[in-house]
């Protein structure tokens, strides 16, 4: 692979560490949703880091993605469940996690060829997360009364949708380009995906840096919601 695409791929892998590093440095990981998103980012970074190391040693590395993707997908679904406003939505996403893992195992072991790019399992993983993020984004947007750009979920869910939306077709397209011996186009596709991933994780990092939610939601506690805080605060005259 030429040096330039390799540098972009390294940059994409490194960008996945932005949300954890900035979140820990800023101390803004109180809501459970943010913490689970950080765990998801760390799993993505570990997957890409191990894949790059295995490829550097001259071995096949597609098995790394097959191993990490179901686990990171389950973590992402749990994070999305924490951003649901109602108990029904949270329960639905959490019930979906074992089903997601079961179907993933069946597709990976029974359908896909581990020696090449995934035609079924990888698009399945990406589509499930994309639609789960889209559903969460829509339900929260419809109920939101304040500015969307100041909400952590707006940036994080946007980044997840950008990451998973472009990942849906990546492996099938890579399989096809490799089959027709168009390595030049394959490098371009991987290069483009890496560039999109950088944007996605920058967006997620912006979400992690947003001010902490002002209400008790998903496990986050705000002093504004405390009875002591409300009773001691000066009242505004009409």
On average, the pLDDT of the chain sits at 84
| Phi, psi dihedral angles at 45 (to 5 degrees) | -65, -40
Using pLDDT thresholds of 50, 70 and 90, give the confidence band for residue 129.
Answer: very high
pLDDT tens-digit profile of 92-106? 999 999 999 999 999
Using pLDDT thresholds of 50, 70 and 90, give the confidence band for residue 171.
Answer: confident
pLDDT tens-digit profile of 2-21? 334 468 888 898 999 999 99
Residue 228 confidence (pLDDT) above 50: no
Report how far residue 192's alpha carbon sits from residue 198's, in angstroms, rounded to the nearest whole number: 10
Q: Radius of gyration (Cα) for the chain, nearest Å? A: 20
Using pLDDT thresholds of 50, 70 and 90, give the confidence band for residue 236.
Answer: very low
Report how far residue 177's alpha carbon sits from residue 170's, in angstroms, rounded to the nearest whole number: 10
- Conformation bin of residue 237: beta by default, left when phi > 0, alpha when psi is -120 to 50: beta
Whose tokens are 């009364």? That residue is: 145
> 156 or 145: whose pLDDT is higher?
156
**Pick from 110, 44, 39: nearest CA to 80:** 39
| Residue 215 contacts residue 145 (beta carbons within 8 Å) | no
Report how far residue 139's alpha carbon sits from residue 142's, in angstroms, rounded to the nearest whole number: 5
**Pick from 148, 147, 187: nearest CA to 170:** 187
| Residue 154 contacts residue 174 (beta carbons within 8 Å) | no
pLDDT tens-digit profile of 46-82? 998 888 888 778 787 778 888 899 999 999 999 999 9
pLDDT tens-digit profile of 190-214? 889 999 999 999 999 999 998 876 6
pLDDT at 125: 94
pLDDT at 213: 67
For residue 54, give every residue at least 6 positions away whose Cβ sits within 8 Å of its Cβ, in sequence order, or none. Answer: 60, 61, 64
For residue 227, give every residue at least 6 positions away whose Cβ sits within 8 Å of its Cβ, in sequence order, or none. Answer: none
pLDDT at 6: 67
Residue 213 DSSP class: P
54-58, 87-91, 128-132 — which is least confidently predicted?
54-58
Report how far residue 112's alpha carbon sits from residue 119's, in angstroms, rounded to the nearest whole number: 6
Residue 222 confidence (pLDDT) above 90: no
Total length of the chain: 238
pLDDT at 214: 62
Q: What is the mean pLDDT of residues 124-148?
A: 91
Report how far residue 197's alpha carbon sits from residue 189's, in angstroms, rounded to the nearest whole number: 12
Using pLDDT thresholds of 50, 70 and 90, give the confidence band for residue 223.
Answer: very low
């Amino acid at each position: 692979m030429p040096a330039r695409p390799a540098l972009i791929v390294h940059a994409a892998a490194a960008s996945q560490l932005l949300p954890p590093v900035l979140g820990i440095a800023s101390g803004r990981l109180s809501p459970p949703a943010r913490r689970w998103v950080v765990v998801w980012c760390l799993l993505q970074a570990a997957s890409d880091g191990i894949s790059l190391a295995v490829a550097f040693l001259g071995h096949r590395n597609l098995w790394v993605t097959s191993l990490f993707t179901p686990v990171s997908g389950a973590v992402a679904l749990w994070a999305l469940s924490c951003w649901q406003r109602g108990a029904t939505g949270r329960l639905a996403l959490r019930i979906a996690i074992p089903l997601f893992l079961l179907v993933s195992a069946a597709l990976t072991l029974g359908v896909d060829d581990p020696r090449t790019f995934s035609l079924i399992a990888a698009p399945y993983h990406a589509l499930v997360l994309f639609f789960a993020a889209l559903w969460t984004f829509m339900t929260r947007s419809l109920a939101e009364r304040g500015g969307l750009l100041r909400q952590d979920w707006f940036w994080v869910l946007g980044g997840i949708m950008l990451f998973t939306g472009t990942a849906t077709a990546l492996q099938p397209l890579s399989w096809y380009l490799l089959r027709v011996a168009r390595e030049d186009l394959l490098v371009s596709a991987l290069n483009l995906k890496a560039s999109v991933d950088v944007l996605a994780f920058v967006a997620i990092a912006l979400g992690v840096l947003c001010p902490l939610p002002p209400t008790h939601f998903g496990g986050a506690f705000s002093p504004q919601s405390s009875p002591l805080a409300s009773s001691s605060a000066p009242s505004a005259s009409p």
